[in-house]
Amino acid sequence: MPISAARMGFRASLVRLVPASLAVRMGMRPSTRQLFAGPGFLAGEGPAGNDPDEIDGRFRILNQPARGRIHVLERSTGICIASTMSNTDGTWRIDRLDPNLPMTVIGYDDTGMQNAAIQDWVLPAVEE
């Protein structure tokens, strides 16, 4: 451990993995990310063709691709499973989602110019 970390009071410790069933008996809660993990993904990708008006899933503000915050919520509980920031061209991707669980996707404009955009009952896709 570096000397500066020791001076600041940081200590190194081993990480132990605890099975979810044992964690519940011990009063610990497993990570929500692990509960909803799977081979699916959600993505906002650019248009497949050359037509810029083609419908796609990019993050947009006033119909212009932009950078923004994306949250993915599990539909029945409202638990936030994942979040990310879109690229400046509006594209984004979240992997390792269960393709059988319906999700709610919320896009936030952090500049405060527009309200959030919501897509409900979204099922993650699975790569072929």
Residue from 66, 71, 110, 68 nearest 88 by CA: 66
pLDDT tens, position by position, 77-99:
899 999 999 999 999 999 999 99
Say what the pLDDT of residue 115 is.
93
| CATH code for residues 32-126 | 2.60.40
Q: Is the pLDDT of residue 21 over 60?
A: no
Tokens found for residue 9: 């009071």
Q: Is the pLDDT of residue 127 over 90?
A: no
Which tops the pLDDT comparison, 54 or 19?
54
Q: How confident is the model at residue 28 (pLDDT cuts 50, 70, 90)?
A: low
Residue from 41, 102, 47, 103 nearest 71 by CA: 103
All residues at 6 or more sequence positions from 67 whose CB lies less than 8 Å from its CB, including other chains: 59, 85, 86, 87, 88, 90
> By the 8 A CB rule, do 36 and 98 touch?
yes
Domain ranges of the chain: 32-126
User: Which SS3 state, helix, strand or coil, does residue 20 take?
Assistant: helix
Say what the pLDDT of residue 29 is.
55
pLDDT tens, position by position, 33-76:
567 788 999 988 877 777 766 777 888 888 888 999 999 999 98
Say which residue the tokens 């081993």 belong to.
14
